[in-house]
Structure 1
Amino acid sequence: MRCAAGSRPRPYLHAANECGVAPDQCALVAVHPWDIDGAKRAGLQAGWLNRRDSLYPEFFRPPDATGDTLATLADALISPM
């Protein structure tokens, strides 16, 4: 997206608006913590695909769920908290 930069929320707010839904009705799955941070700043739910057993940087907002495969991450995101 043209407006994407770092962990700014604007691209995620734009995507939600284009889909005609509120940000809290959206979820992002990403491998980069800065994407998770931007989505969380915009009010989206976010899942981190951690395929390399990495440590999540403390300075970014944490994901709502983490998984090492798309299947485990999807299950974690839709599971009741």
Structure 2
Amino acid sequence: MTSTPPKSPGAAVSGLTCFVLVVGGVSGLLHAWLGWIHLMGFVRFLVPDGHEIYGYAVMVVLGVAVGAAGDALAGRRRS
């Protein structure tokens, strides 16, 4: 059994940021399109009024980009 090396603090922060942005953006899109309840209601303060769809879509894309960058940094550290 192999043990995994500990995550760097930067990788942990990027993972948390990725999770918050993706889940918050998707829940905001579902709320805007279907009227569902916000899972992460605080993200509505990050999006300007009248531009909810674009703002939440940008949050999802930004979250995926932050997650990919964090994985790349963590992979580079292991090598």
Given the two structures, how large is their TM-score scaled by the length of structure 2? Answer: 0.26
Kindly indicate which of the two structures has a greater share of residues assigned to strand: 1
Kindly indicate which of the two structures has a greater share of residues assigned to helix: 2
Given the two structures, how large is their TM-score scaled by the length of structure 1? Answer: 0.26
**Structure with greater Cα Rg:** 2
The answer to which structure, 1 or 2, has the higher relative contact order (CA under 8 A, 6+ apart) is 2
